[in-house]
Structure 1
Amino acid sequence: MTHLRVMAARLLPCVITVTLGACHQAATPSWQGYVEGEYVYLASSQSGTLTQLSVQRGQTIARGAPVFALESIDEAAALQQAQHQLASARAQLADILTGKRPPEVNVTKAQLAQAVANAHKASQQLTRDEAQYRAGGIPKAQLDDSRAQADSTVAQVRELTNQVTVANLPARSQQILAQRAQVNAAQAAVDQAQWKFDQKRVTAPHEGLIYDTLYRVGEWVQAGNPVVQMLPPQNMKVRFFVPESVIGGLKTGRAVLVHCDGCTADVPAQITFISSEAEYTPPVIYSNESRAKLVFMIEAHPSLADATKLHPGQPVEVTLQ
């Protein structure tokens, strides 16, 4: 009996070891990885002195929030000049579309009224002279003068009538087309000046975290140089590596759970990319089981609400959900 107890005592650690090994084998497999962020570098297409920096490192801002501004005196002046030129071109187009101004038309109408009165007077004088010529009271030359005067006043009435008609007409079609082209060119110049002016003030294209600021107020910023480094939540992803024996069972859209040290709960995510090429285990991944083996890289994105729980460079463990 004593011998059996001794044998049982000796076998108990083996049983425990075998049991624990069996539990370990039955546990859900996990794979190591890390969090990665794809940063957005906010810059202006124009050069200038940084006059305003509206954000600071570690701040979370909303989409459309002001980020920074560059000195824009020259761009504002160019925009104002272009706007004035556009207003002038539009005024000229309106002028040639409406014909002469009302006071100018009124002057021509007054001249026409005077010509009509003269024509009426000349017609009456011609009637009297014809009667007197038939009676022998005046010579033929005087009658010819009266007829010429009557014809002249009628022609003047006709001319001024046509001038009043023309004064109320717009300019010729080719002139109108040319002026409209001037208006379009002036509008394009305003649009260009407005675009350059707007480029001096940069707003956030997405909601996200201000990861870093790269310039200080008062410094000169060359065109295209990023001023702010931003990390939108949709650009946060998890990279992990699985062995060849697992890759065949994974598909994009598959749900996974991301575990990280210090997280209150696992973060759900979805697989969005599966590498088609094998690679060696990255040196940042420390796993005795997968060391020196070929693995495949997998990328998974958490939801926007859960993305803020993760941090770039943070080591994680990923399991299938």
Structure 2
Amino acid sequence: MARPGSRSSGRYRYLPFLSAVLSALLAGAGCSGKQPPGYQGYVEGEFVHVSSSEAGRLVRLSVTRGQRVRADTPLFALESINEAAAQRQARQRLSAAEAQLKDLRTGKRPQELDVVRAQLAQAIAEEKKSAADLVRDEAQYKAGGISNARLDETRARAESNAARARELSSQLDVAGLSARDEQIKAQVANAAAARAALEQAEWTLNQKAVAASGAGLVFDTMYREGEWVRAGSPVVRLLPPENIKVRFFVPETLLGTLAIGKDVVLHCDGRPAGIPAKVTYISTESEYTPPIIYSNETRSKLVYMIEARPSADEALELHPGQPVEVKLR
């Protein structure tokens, strides 16, 4: 029997520990054989940079970082004094052009027509009187009661009154007509140009107040109220849930088993259950192990980048830069 403190007794003292380690390794090997392999990845967001096509001073920032907004939620507003004045001016020009077009189409006013009718009635009365005078003077001339000059004067007055009556009758007919076709066409074009100018002014004014095109997270705000914003410069960075994706890398030997639409499961800290997702992109170019995901096992192997997207509801729990583990189904 070995004495205490001998070499053989020390060897036997470590047997329980080695047995426990061996049991743990065998158990781990048994579990790893049943579970699908996991691949390290990270969350990435495709941001929407919301800006205005017009420049101006930022007078109202309606959202804050970290706020979730719905579609049509007001985001920010720029100073719009000049644009509002231009819109009013364009609206007044359109009203003037349409009124002038209406006037050309309707002819003279009823009061103006009444004046022409009265003048025509007076001219007809004078025509009748001068015609009667001509008949009387012709009889007097034949009887030798008046001279030839007197008869010529009466005849000229009768012809003049008849011509005046015809003139006023024609004026009355013309007064009831609209303007000439070419004038109306020209005014129609002027009214259309004024309407287009109004639409442009309204569009420019609407660009000074910007709302969210869809639901999402306000990831960041780039300006403060009172600052000058250049045209096209982003003011708010939105992250819609459908724009959240996961990038992970798989070895070349596994590439043939993947296809667009394949189901995967995402695992992250703080959530026991996995998040379902679908493969949406498979890189066509190989690369070495990316420096962001470093491991001794894969540093010398070629890998392919894969992108997967969860549903919009599930994506709300993921954040850009967050590490995840992806398991294939």
Q: What TM-score results when the alignment is normalised by the length of structure 2?
A: 0.89
- 1:110 aligned partner, one-letter code: A
What is the alpha-carbon root mean square deviation over aligned residues?
Answer: 2.2
Distance 1:291 1:27 in 2: 23
The residue number in structure 2 matching 1:42 is: 50
The residue number in structure 1 matching 2:277 is: 269
Q: Among residues 72, 76, 79, which one is paired with 1:68 in the alignment?
A: 76
The residue number in structure 1 matching 2:245 is: 237
Q: CA deviation at 1:287?
A: 4.0
Instruction: Summarize the alignment of residues 204-223 of structure 1 with structure 2, pairs less than 5 Å apart.
Output: 204-223=212-231
Distance 2:312 2:28 in 1: 39
- 2:283 aligned partner, one-letter code: S
1:55 aligns with 2:55: no
Distance 1:302 1:120 in 2: 99
Distance 1:12 1:157 in 2: 131
Instruction: Summarize the alignment of residues 172-211 of structure 1 with structure 2, pairs less than 5 Å apart.
Output: 172-211=180-219
Distance 2:234 2:208 in 1: 13
1:89 aligns with 2:97: yes
- 1:164 aligned partner, one-letter code: L
Distance 2:238 2:133 in 1: 95
Any idea what SS the aligned residue of 2:130 has?
helix
Q: CA deviation at 1:17?
A: 4.0
Q: Which range moves more in the overlay, 169-178 or 131-140?
A: 131-140
Q: How many residues align?
A: 315
Distance 1:105 1:266 in 2: 87
Any idea what SS the aligned residue of 1:295 has?
strand
Are the structure 2 counterparts of residues 258 and 12 from structure 1 closer, same or farther at C-alpha, using a change threshold of 3 Å? closer
Q: Which range moves more in the overlay, 199-208 or 100-109?
A: 100-109
Distance 2:91 2:254 in 1: 65
- 1:159 aligned partner, one-letter code: E
1:160 aligns with 2:168: yes
Q: Among residues 252, 264, 272, which one is paired with 1:256 in the alignment?
A: 264
The residue number in structure 1 matching 2:4 is: none
Any idea what SS the aligned residue of 1:226 has?
coil
Structure 1: state its 5+ residue gaps: 1-5
Q: CA deviation at 1:44?
A: 1.2
The residue number in structure 2 matching 1:150 is: 158
The residue number in structure 2 matching 1:3 is: none
Distance 2:198 2:242 in 1: 36
After superposition, what is the alpha-carbon deviation per residue over 1:40-72, rounded to whole angstroms, capped at 9, x for unaligned? Answer: 111111111111011011111111111000111
Q: Among residues 118, 123, 126, which one is paired with 1:118 in the alignment?
A: 126
Distance 2:281 2:221 in 1: 31
Structure 2: state its 5+ residue gaps: 1-11
Distance 2:278 2:254 in 1: 16
1:289 aligns with 2:297: yes
- 1:220 aligned partner, one-letter code: W
- 2:59 aligned partner, one-letter code: T
Percent of pairs identical after alignment? 54
Q: CA deviation at 1:22?
A: 4.2
Distance 2:297 2:276 in 1: 25
Q: What TM-score results when the alignment is normalised by the length of structure 1?
A: 0.91
Distance 2:88 2:138 in 1: 72
Distance 1:165 1:197 in 2: 48
Any idea what SS the aligned residue of 1:52 has?
strand
Any idea what SS the aligned residue of 2:266 has?
strand
